[in-house]
Amino acid sequence: MQRYFVNQPSIDNRFTITNEDVHHIIRVMRMKEGDQIICVDSSNQSAICRIAEITDEQVIAEVVQWMEASSELPVGITIVSGLPKGDKLELIIQKGTELGAFQFIPFISARSVVKWDEKKAAKKIERWQKIAKEAAEQSHRTIIPKVSSPLNIKSLIQKSESFDYKLIAYEDEAKQGEASVLTQTLAEMKNGQSLLFVFGPEGGLTEQEVSSLKENGFKACGLGPRILRTETAPLYVLSAASYHFELLE
């Protein structure tokens, strides 16, 4: 059943769907009055709804049944990705959303080949956010992960102060056989707690960046015996978290 995020609460158990979702319902899905969809309101509650009215500007959906089950990870994992080349960040956002990430923060790392262009910033972030929205709908999430503006290391360290746990994926730790920090961190985390996880760009993080992060409460960890690409490592971590918090339960 197709899912749509409605940025408002229901009124008298009715949702009003507008903007591009109207086009998707009418032109892409070719739905008609009486068809059922799932609506997610501004408080992240999901409901099975029946389409009651369709116009060119809006779709009215009536609640049939509110849904109790949640598809969200019980912990909030924020992925910090050193700006990679090409469309790799789009892949990280899409697949990371499907795997349960709570938020994405692009990171302007010393070794990022891509240079951030402030003139194109708004359009770029809008595209990333749209990718997160579509992936959240596809994977039946109840939240759309936020994609923030890229941060430099100083801003990242300031933002990290509000997180319960802070880790760095560092390939030197993997080469040395470190394999316990991630496992221990997941074992310590309680439902509702937050984890900020930093991943370098293609060239990895510099020693200076790692030192600065460690001085501010981050722990470096390996991700198994193999060296993972910048677009693979976040998906590895989210999969490990899903296994620990969802499958083992």
Q: pLDDT for 155-175, tens place per residue?
A: 999 999 999 999 999 877 655
Domains (ranges, CATH) in the chain? 3-67 (2.40.240.20), 76-247 (3.40.1280.10)
Query: CA separation (Å) from 88 to 94, 158, 246?
Result: 10, 26, 27
pLDDT value of residue 121: 87
How far is residue 59's CA from residue 131's CA, in Å, rounded to a whole number? 22
Spell 83-112 as b/e; 16+ CB within 10 A means b.
Answer: bbeeebbebbbbbbbbbbbbbbbbbbbeeb
Q: Which amino acid is at 175?
A: K
pLDDT at 4 over 70: yes
Q: What's the mean per-residue pLDDT of the chain?
A: 93
E-strand ranges in the chain read: 3-5, 14-17, 36-40, 46-54, 59-67, 76-82, 103-107, 146-147, 165-169, 194-199, 219-221
- pTM value is 0.91
pLDDT value of residue 177: 57
pLDDT at 98 over 80: yes
pLDDT band at 7 (very low <50, low <70, confident <90, very high): confident
- Which residue, among 231, 10, 190, has the nearest Cα to 99 in the 3D structure? 231
pLDDT value of residue 175: 57
At residue 82, the 3 state secondary structure works out as: strand
Q: Which tokens sit at 68?
A: 């109790």
